């Protein structure tokens, strides 16, 4: 505005002429007609509110229960009876299966030069699998709570690894035979063209991989899928290794502390409303449990899939660090399940889903079968240590199929993402409470 | 990868040759070296967690206290003694001040043609201000809780409006005199060049604005700053008006409900730890109160600054709807205070800060003086209805000056934004608890 009150005024706009008009025609920012959409500050608001709410819950918990964290208790769980460690023995025995798998493959490599691999497949596999199932049954009878879960986990991982080992070696034999049949065309499969971080490791092809060194590298490598020449990282980064190790130790302590201080009292307090079937209190308890349960799951996710697997991978110079993808952005349930646990997802895809497709099963049926297998493993890993078959975990996993259909059909974008989070935050504590409730009923109500 | 197992395989990649290699050299997404930064899903996670946490608090509250919402109680606060409404009488009396201001200005418009406006200013202003202060003192003696707050609010707003009215008219006289002195140059001030939504309203210049119609339009308009020709919207949008009205009614109910159901029991429960000075419980109570207090403040903000002021503006076809700016994104405390309440900010800038700058006061001092005035008004609007002078609100406002310096100096970007939110979420309930505590001590402890 032109102004007659001098230079001083033009800078500060303090003269009467400049002050006279202070209103212009404009809409409020929150009116839809203003076209404003910068709500960057809202994210900070959410974070601050979450931190403050949880700080309060934490303080309330400390006031109510005092400090319950007790690292000695955890150690004592492992060392309960130091002269008979069934779990440790079982883990040592697992070497038998590893070596059996290796020697079977060595034998098959020779035999299959003469006979068709299709016959040998079923025989070798069946022997292996039946042995492992027997070991698992043994494990179920012997196991004590924590050691039992660990040995069961080890056996399950080993089962998946050896299955993959046998499958992959069988494919190599198939390729060798196909090659032998039509020698005219050269096969590109065991080529050096694959991306390999280091040139120092020599390239091996089929029968050459059947060594103890290669077998044990695969057993310890953070993957469930066997491959002839794993991509390798050029060197062990000391700082990276140290950071992952510190994360592992710290988060381990945090997890144990949160479980002792927050989960256990909340679960104990939830028993009464669940026995009395007081519905509104049950929902309140469920929501109260949801927060620590979800936090523990998130910390566990980071601890296992980022810190621990990266630590092992760095130690072994294992190159493929894709242990998870961006599941936090997933807008469908299927995307979440396909991306939060890449080692298992890769195994399912490679050794379960794709072979099914190859045998002419349609996609939806194959997907459901994968969920079914996954549901079985979830149930099995929970039921066996608790010695309680209730199918809650199984049903929780199977409920993902209709949920995936619903979310994919009716919700998309941020609504789909929110639905994924809700199912994750609410679904888990429901299953946890179901098992704890049943466990409590069996062990405490009947005895008193 | 080239593959010899046919077209079928190229589509599904289910042949042994395609399945053989499944690992590539890559980093985990959360490793800093991966360069990944898409955490869009985290915002949804925050929202879901907040909704679920608060749903639990709400359910817990209902279980603990039952339903406390009682609209009749609110109505009874207003109608306590229907035959003597001191607050309503005071509001009717305020017309006297409005008309006095108008007639004073009319007289001054004539007188100032002959004498200098500087002398008339102080006399007219002083008379007006002293009368208003007397009325406010009367108001303080008479007022009953809710009616008292409302009449006090009305008088405060009216005081600011009439101050602006007098200032603006004085500027007009100054301009008229400056024009008379140097007729050689034409003044651009009362020009039609300003942005005006409608061409239907005729343009008025200085003495022509001193009418009853113009005065009352200003009194009811949602602004504290007088201007000769307000920007006007072309028509009353019926749907916009209805939506704002429904928002007003609904949010009003919600506010009353939240206060009765959530704030009152929480405050009552906070009294015991505050009397016993149990520090950890005091912090816990403070954080518990922070959530409903902050929600109520946010709802109040939307209800008042968006719904109510827009409703009034739409009714009066008032064009300038900037009642708030994007304070939620503010990264400094100063930005927050300058943007959350635009009518008051505009008034302070136009009638307090800029005149001070014009008189040679430095910027920091002027800013502090504005905060001081604001602190005074906050204290005054709280203390008078409670009949309790404790200076907590005053101190809370004055604490913004060092806070603003600290945040501006050490925090920026999202950290500054988070600091703003924390001071907002935590600062308010501290002041609320202080007042309630003192009120409780005076009225309950001494009598029992």
> Tokens 């120092």 sit at which residue?
A200
Alpha carbons A360 and B394: distance in angstroms, whole number: 77
Per-residue pLDDT, B306 = 92
Residue B219, pLDDT score: 92
pLDDT reported for residue B99: 86
- Minimal C-alpha gap between A208 and chain B (Å): 15
Cα A309 → chain centroid: 11
Nearest to B29 among A38, A190, A326 (CB): A326
Sign for the CA dihedral angle at B254, B255, B258, B261 comes to negative
* Of A152-166, B193-207, B311-325, the least confident: B193-207
pLDDT at A2: 44
In chain A, what are the domain boundaries?
Answer: 84-188+203-220, 236-445
**Which of A53-57, A334-338, B238-242, B414-418 has maximum average pLDDT?**
B238-242
Residues of chain A in contact with residue B341, where contact means CB-CB under 8 angstroms, are: none
Burial A30-46 (b: 16+ CB within 10 A, else e): bbeeeeeeeeebbbbbb
- The per-residue pLDDT for B149 is 74
**Nearest C-alpha of chain B: how many angstroms from A25?**
5
Mutate to test the interface with B, among A5, A25, A237 (most CBs of B within 10 A): A25
Measure CB to CB from residue B195 to each of A25, A174, A325 and give the nearest one. Answer: A25
Higher-confidence residue: A156 or B344?
A: B344
CB contact under 8 A, B175 and A17: yes
Q: How far apart are CA B440 and CA B448, in angstroms?
A: 11
Q: Confirm whether B443 is a catalytic residue.
A: no
| Spatial distance between the Cα atoms of B48 and A49, rounded to a whole number of angstroms | 12
CB contact under 8 A, A329 and B38: yes
- The pLDDT profile of chain A, 448 residues, written as one tens digit per residue, is 445 555 445 556 667 777 777 888 888 888 878 777 777 788 888 888 888 888 888 888 888 888 877 777 777 766 665 555 666 777 787 888 888 888 888 888 887 766 655 555 556 666 667 666 766 666 666 655 567 777 778 888 888 898 888 888 888 888 888 777 766 444 444 443 444 444 445 778 888 888 999 999 999 999 999 988 889 988 899 999 999 999 999 999 889 888 888 888 888 888 777 777 778 888 888 888 888 899 999 999 999 999 999 999 999 999 899 899 889 888 888 889 888 899 999 999 888 888 888 888 888 888 888 888 888 888 887 777 777 777 888 888 888 888 888 888 888 888 889 999 999 898 888 888 888 888 777 777 655 4
Query: Hey, what are A355's tokens?
Result: 């072979």
- What DSSP string runs through B163-208? HHHHHHHHHHHHHHHHHHH-TTSPP-TT-TTS--S-SSSPP--GGG
Q: How far apart are CA B150 and CA B153, in angstroms?
A: 5
User: For A38, which of B45, B305, B326 is closest by C-beta distance?
Assistant: B326
- Residue with tokens 């700080």, as numbered in its chain: A55
The whole-angstrom separation of Cα A158 and Cα A381 is: 14
The answer to whether A25 contacts B233, with C-beta atoms less than 8 Å apart, is: yes
Out of B17, B188, B319, closest to residue A1 by CB: B188
At residue B73's C-alpha, the angle toward residues B72 and B74, to 5°, is: 90
Tokens for A17, please give them: 């002429």
DSSP A222-272: S-SS--SS--B-SS--HHHHHHHHHHHHHHHHHHHHHIIIIIHHHHHHHHH
B127 min Cα distance to partner chain A (Å): 23
Name the more confident of B1 and A248.
Answer: A248
User: What is the per-residue pLDDT for B304?
Assistant: 94
Per-residue pLDDT tens for B81-127?
555 566 677 778 788 888 888 888 888 888 766 665 555 555 666 66
pLDDT for A155 equals 82
Rounded CA-CA distance B383/B4 in Å is 87
Nearest-angstrom CA–CA distance, B198 and B234 = 5
Whole-number Å distance between alpha carbons of A318 and A310: 9
Residues of A with CB below 8 A from B325's CB?
Answer: 29
Amino acid A251: pLDDT: 92
Element (H, E) at A171: helix A145-181
- CB under 8 Å to A40, separation ≥6 — which residues? B329, B417
Of the candidates A230, A288, A418, the beta carbon closest to that of B44 is on: A418
Q: Whole-angstrom Cα distance, residue A420 to residue A426?
A: 10
Rounded Cα gap, residues A437 and B9, in angstroms: 49
Helices (H), A259-324: 264-276, 279-301, 309-315
Chain A CB contacts of B347 below 8 Å = none
Q: What angle separates helix B40-65 from helix A414-440, to the nearest 10 degrees?
A: 50
Planar angle of CA B427, B431, B436, nearest 5 degrees: 145
CB pairs under 8 A between A and B: 299
DSSP A14: -
Find chain A residues with C-beta within 8 A of B20's C-beta: 168, 171-172, 175, 189-190, 227-228
How far is the alpha carbon of B14 from chain A, nearest alpha carbon, in Å? Answer: 5
> Which range has the worst mean pLDDT, A197-201, B90-94, B192-196, B320-324?
B192-196
- Specify burial of residue B45 (Cβ count, 10 A radius: 0-12, 13-18, 19+): buried
CA distance B15 to chain A (A): 8
Q: What is the DSSP letter of B34?
A: G
Contact B31 A321 (CB under 8 A): yes
Please choose, from the candidates A324, A420, A406, A336, the residue with its C-alpha nearest in 3D space to the C-alpha of residue A371: A336
Number of neighbours of residue A165 by Cβ within 10 angstroms = 24
Q: Find the mean pLDDT for residues B206-229.
A: 90
Helix axes A414-440, A264-276, angle to 10 degrees: 80
Is B195 within 8 Å of A306 when comparing Cβ atoms?
Answer: no
The CA distances from residue A108 to A206, A381, B33, B433, in Å, are: 12, 32, 43, 79
**Which residue out of B114, B201, B203, B378 is catalytically annotated?**
B378
Higher pLDDT, B439 or B127: B439
User: Considering only CA atoms, which of A79, A44, A125 is closest in space to residue B331?
Assistant: A44
Which residues of chain B lie closer than 8 angstroms to A168, CB-CB? Answer: 19-20
Mean pLDDT over the full length of chain B: 80
A41, A318, A342, best to mutate vs chain B, most B CBs in 10 Å? A41
Is A287 within 8 Å of B52 when comparing Cβ atoms?
Answer: yes
Q: Do B185 and A4 touch (CB under 8 A)?
A: yes
* CB-CB contact of B397 with B371 (8 Å): yes
Tokens of B116: 């200098």
* Interchain contact, B53 vs A48, CB within 8 Å: no
By three-state DSSP, how is residue B75 classified?
helix
Work out the number of other CB atoms within 10 angstroms of the CB of residue B401. Answer: 17
Provide CB contacts within 8 A for B19, sequence distance 6+: A168, A171, A350, A354, B13
Considering only residues B69 and A353, tell me which one the structure prediction assigns the higher pLDDT. A353
Taking an 8 Å cut-off on Cβ atoms, the answer to whether B227 and A23 are in contact is yes
Nearest CA-CA partner of B146 in B88, B225, B70: B88
Shortest Cα distance, chain B CAs vs residue A131, angstroms? 26
Q: How many CA atoms does the CB half-sphere of B18 hold within 13 Å?
A: 19
**Which one is catalytic: A125, A294, A306, A378?**
A378
pLDDT for the residue A171: 85
Q: Do B358 and A225 touch (CB under 8 A)?
A: no
Q: Tell me, what's the pLDDT at A315?
A: 92
Burial A221-248 (b: 16+ CB within 10 A, else e): bbbbbbbbbbbbbeeeeeebeebbeebb
């Amino acid at each position: 505005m032109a102004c007659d009150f001098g230079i001083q005024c033009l800078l500060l706009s303090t003269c009467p002429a400049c002050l006279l008009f202070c209103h212009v025609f404009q809409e409020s920012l929150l009116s839809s007609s203003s076209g404003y959409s910068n709500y960057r500050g809202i994210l900070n608001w959410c974070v601050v509110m979450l931190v403050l709410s949880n700080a309060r819950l934490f303080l309330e918990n400390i006031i109510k229960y005092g400090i319950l964290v007790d690292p000695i208790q955890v150690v004592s769980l492992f060392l309960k009876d130091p002269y008979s460690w069934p779990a440790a023995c079982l883990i040592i025995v697992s070497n038998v299966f590893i070596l059996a798998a290796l020697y079977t493959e060595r034998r098959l490599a020779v035999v299959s030069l003469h006979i068709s691999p299709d016959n040998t497949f079923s025989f070798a596999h069946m022997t292996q699998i039946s042995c492992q199932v027997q070991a698992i049954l043994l494990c179920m009878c012997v196991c004590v709570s924590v050691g039992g879960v660990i040995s069961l986990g080890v056996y399950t991982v080993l089962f998946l690894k050896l299955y993959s080992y046998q499958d992959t070696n069988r494919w190599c034999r198939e390729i060798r035979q196909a090659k032998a049949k039509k020698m005219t065309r050269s096969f590109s499969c065991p080529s050096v063209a694959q991306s390999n971080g280091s040139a120092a490791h020599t390239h091996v092809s089929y029968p050459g991989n059947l060594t103890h060194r290669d077998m044990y590298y695969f057993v310890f490598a953070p993957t469930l899928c066997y491959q002839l020449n794993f991509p390798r990282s050029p060197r062990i980064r000391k700082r990276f290794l140290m950071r992952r190790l510190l994360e592992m130790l710290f988060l381990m302590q945090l997890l144990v502390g949160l479980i002792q201080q927050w989960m256990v009292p909340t679960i104990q307090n939830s028993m009464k409303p669940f026995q009395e079937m007081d519905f509104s209190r049950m929902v309140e308890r469920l929501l109260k449990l949801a927060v620590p349960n979800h936090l523990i799951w998130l910390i566990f996710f980071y601890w296992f899939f980022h810190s621990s697997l990266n630590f092992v991978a760095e130690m072994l110079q294992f190159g493929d660090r894709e242990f998870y993808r961006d599941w936090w952005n997933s807008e469908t349930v299927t995307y979440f399940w396909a991306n939060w646990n890449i080692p298992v997802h890769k195994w399912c895809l490679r050794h379960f889903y794709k072979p099914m497709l190859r045998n002419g099963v349609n996609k939806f049926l194959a997907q459901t079968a994968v969920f079914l297998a996954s549901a079985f493993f979830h149930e099995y890993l929970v039921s066996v240590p608790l010695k309680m078959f209730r199918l809650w975990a199984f049903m929780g996993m199977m409920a993902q199929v209709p949920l995936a259909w619903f979310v994919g059909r009716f919700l998309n974008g941020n609504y789909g993402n929110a639905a994924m989070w809700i199912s994750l935050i609410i679904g888990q504590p429901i299953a946890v409470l179901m098992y704890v409730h049943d466990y409590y009923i069996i062990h405490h109500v009947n005895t008193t």
